[in-house]
Structure 1
Amino acid sequence: MLLNAVNQNQPTIAAEINYIKPNIQATFDLSTSKKSADTLTEQVDKRVVEITDARLLAKTATLKEDGFGLVANKYHMADYFDDAMVSTELYPQIIKHLMSLTNASKGVVFDHTIRSVEDKLHRAEKRSPIHTVHNDYVASSAQHRLHIELEKQGLKASDYHRYQFINTWIPLVDVVLDSPLAFADMRSVTSEQSHLLQVAYPDRVGEIEGFSYNPNNRWFYFSRMTSKEQLNFKVFDSDKSNAVNRTPHSAFLLPSVAENVQSRVSIELRTILLFNK
């Protein structure tokens, strides 16, 4: 069932979302050390859409049923900007949380990214929030990444019944008032909207999914998200029978927000969950 029942408070905002134009060939460049662009392509199709505040849904959105869900951030971390500390201390906590949430048999966190609106962080990797509707994987790129990461762990995909790729998004500012994430209900997205986009990395070329406009898409976000919360959202599910097998998403600009609000900084962690049944 589509997420559609909301409380009677002001449930939606009208905001601009960048879709991609259909039938384009584009490559998103992450091959250099300069700060990444905030759109996947210059050929975006700007649309004003209604975005529902998911906090006001009568039925709470969940990762399992809806492809995305907001939960409390109860992790113990001294420094999210210390990559070694994130790998040794945060990764195990993320795995424990997601396995408990999904009943997965095994979990592997394989990557994380710090995203910042401004270019003030002293980091080799400088990533902007992406203001374009996309999903992180297509079937071929998910399968490729699965085998690479499982081989590192001495695991075999054939030992498991299915797998999912889950992203976890945690704000590193007190309150997100700049470039929050919006999620499209996958049950309102058509196959005709899906388009392959290339991503150029320093050592390889990958593939992700961009989406063109459809007026029937239903959009959601969580207002005033804090550093004590986190978003989990599905970016690939090998179970092809699941209608919510991924979650198109995009950062967007909130309307009528003061120019001097604190710029968004966030960390995004990427996990593979493996299931025996």
Structure 2
Amino acid sequence: MSTTTTGTTTKTTISTSTTDANYVPRGPTSAELTFYAPPPDNAQPFNYVESPPPGQPTRNYGEDTQRVSLNDIRGNESSFHLDKDSFQALQDVSSATTYATFDSDASIRENYYPEVEALIKEHIPGVHKITLFDHTIRRANPDSRRQPVNRVHVDQTPTAALARVNLHITNPDEAKALAEGRYRIVNVWRPLSEEPVQSSPLAFASATSVDPADLVAVEHRYPNRTGQTMGVKYNPGQKWYYWSGMTGRERLLLKCSDSKGLRDGDVSQWVPHTAFVDERTPEGARPRESIEVRALIFG
């Protein structure tokens, strides 16, 4: 193990030859993150969610790999808030779920969704309606269909967020009324296991450090509709964080859109995030397994 100090930042590096399979990387570090690079022909960037049509690539934009400093929020969790940073860390969350809860979509909706809804009501003031519209399980395993996403992105654009309101609120009059108030999309992220995350942790940038000019709308093409996500261009002013050793008793709230921020600018709107390869991960570490539940929140 070696420690170096540059300016006011201390970086600790653990050799990748670490043999303690139970070691949990913690503290400030640096990692290579994959940012957005525009299509060579400057065309509208797109990404196909499933197999692209014949002759089309899965995506038409490129990658810009940059090494960035990452600060560990462990021990400073209360310093960050959804309205300011677009992320918030919750600890000591009680849950009746077990690892087996996440074996099927039906079990997740029946047993975990009610906990997510209760969590949102407890920690996000002013909410009067919640619609949980999607979830994804990711496993850092070569055989898994959905693995951690190692690409900096934001899940929604303002246009896509409004489209979600109209898609998931099926009564047009209700959707119109709700869209005139405050609506947000927040992802609730957690590991599946009680054991601390050792590999493929999640990095996220405080919204206070993100220039809107760094965000690029990307067409997210489903088989039956087209949504939008955002690619994120590298900017050295961005402040990146991660939460070391997250367990199944902790939750990370990630705000992907906020109509209040769009309308009056007094709260943050979105949080760029990505999985990353932590070079300190020990040999034989547990593959990261996680679930993110996506919520439309009104009020």
Where on the TM-score scale, by shorter chain, does this alignment land: which range? 0.7 to 0.9
Say which is worse superposed, 200-209 or 43-52, in terms of deviation: 200-209
Q: By how many angstroms is 1:243 displaced?
A: 4.2
The gaps in structure 1 that reach 5 residues or longer are 1-5, 34-38
Look up the match of 2:185.
Answer: 165
Asked if 1:63 corresponds to 2:82, the answer is yes
Q: By how many angstroms is 1:212 displaced?
A: 0.6
Look up the match of 2:164.
Answer: 145
Look up the match of 1:219.
Answer: 240
Asked if 1:114 corresponds to 2:140, the answer is no
Q: By how many angstroms is 1:238 displaced?
A: 0.4
Look up the match of 1:135.
Answer: 154
Aligned amino acid, residue 31 of structure 1: E
CA distance in 1, matches of 2:80, 2:201: 17
Say which is worse superposed, 139-148 or 58-67, in terms of deviation: 58-67
Asked if 1:16 corresponds to 2:16, the answer is no
Q: By how many angstroms is 1:205 displaced?
A: 2.4
Q: By how many angstroms is 1:258 displaced?
A: 2.2
Aligned-pair RMSD on alpha carbons?
Answer: 2.7
Q: Tell whether the 8 Å contact from 1:9 to 1:56 is kept in structure 2 after alignment.
A: no
Say which is worse superposed, 96-105 or 6-15, in terms of deviation: 6-15
Q: Tell whether the 8 Å contact from 1:64 to 1:102 is kept in structure 2 after alignment.
A: no
- Identify the match of residue 107 of structure 2 among 70, 77, 85: 85
Instruction: Tell me the TM-score normalized by structure 2.
Output: 0.79
Q: By how many angstroms is 1:222 displaced?
A: 0.3
Asked if 1:43 corresponds to 2:62, the answer is yes
CA separation of 1:9 and 1:216: change in aligned 2, threshold 3 A: closer
CA distance in 2, matches of 1:117, 1:154: 42
Look up the match of 1:102.
Answer: 124
The gaps in structure 2 that reach 5 residues or longer are 1-7, 13-26, 53-57
Q: How big is each residue's C-alpha offset from its partner over 1:50-91, in whole Å with a ceiling of 9 and x where there is no partner?
A: 111011438522234321122133222241122112112221
Secondary structure of 1:115's aligned partner = strand
Larger Rg: 2
CA distance in 1, matches of 2:150, 2:73: 19
- Identify the match of residue 187 of structure 1 among 208, 211, 218: 208
Say which is worse superposed, 154-163 or 134-143, in terms of deviation: 154-163
**Matched residue count:** 261
Aligned amino acid, residue 244 of structure 1: S
Look up the match of 2:228.
Answer: 207
Q: By how many angstroms is 1:113 displaced?
A: 0.8
Asked if 1:250 corresponds to 2:274, the answer is yes
Look up the match of 2:219.
Answer: 198
CA separation of 1:83 and 1:190: change in aligned 2, threshold 3 A: same
CA separation of 1:60 and 1:8: change in aligned 2, threshold 3 A: farther
Say which is worse superposed, 54-63 or 126-135, in terms of deviation: 54-63
CA distance in 2, matches of 1:191, 1:71: 27
CA separation of 1:120 and 1:64: change in aligned 2, threshold 3 A: same
> Pairwise mapping of residues 17-32 of structure 1 onto structure 2 (< 5 A)?
17-22=33-38, 25-32=44-51
Aligned amino acid, residue 209 of structure 1: M
Secondary structure of 2:292's aligned partner = strand
Say which is worse superposed, 110-119 or 149-158, in terms of deviation: 149-158
Secondary structure of 2:102's aligned partner = coil
Instruction: Tell me the TM-score normalized by structure 1.
Output: 0.85
Q: By how many angstroms is 1:115 displaced?
A: 1.0
Q: By how many angstroms is 1:273 displaced?
A: 0.7
Aligned amino acid, residue 197 of structure 1: V
CA separation of 1:58 and 1:96: change in aligned 2, threshold 3 A: closer
Q: By how many angstroms is 1:157 displaced?
A: 4.1
CA distance in 2, matches of 1:9, 1:57: 17
Aligned amino acid, residue 292 of structure 2: E
Look up the match of 1:36.
Answer: none
Q: Percent identity?
A: 28
